[in-house]
Amino acid sequence: MKVVATVAILFFVPVLAYGDGPKPCEVLKTEIAAKLDAHGSKGYTLEIVAKDKEAEGKVVGTCDAGSKKIVYSKAAPPSKAADPAPKKP
């Protein structure tokens, strides 16, 4: 009986792991954005690019069965406009 239970478990566990499966890119991107927002991150971009394409930033996830990656990059701070002419006293 123990052998039957062991065999059943060995066949059942991989099925559970496969159930999660690879995530679509948009779903994963949304999940990553939610986590970043929860940590208070602002001024960032998440970009979905092909696995072999070079992109500036840090790879924070892969999707579509490893064919694409999600790249995080911090947005540049807004440049200050030239100060208006100094006020005369």
pLDDT digits (tens, 9 = 90+) for 43-71: 999 999 999 998 899 999 999 888 999 99
pLDDT of res. 75? 76
The pair phi, psi for residue 73, each rounded to 5°, is -140, 145
Question: Which stretch, 2-6, 44-48, 72-76, has highest mean pLDDT?
Answer: 44-48
Asked if 25 and 61 count as a contact pair (C-beta separation under 8 A), the reply is no
Query: Where does the pLDDT of residue 13 fall: very low under 50, low under 70, confident under 90, or very high at 90 and above?
Result: low
Sheet of 58-63: strands edge to edge? 44-50, 68-74, 58-63
Q: What is the pTM of this model?
A: 0.61
Residue of 7, 5, 15, 25 lying closest to 70 (CA atoms): 25
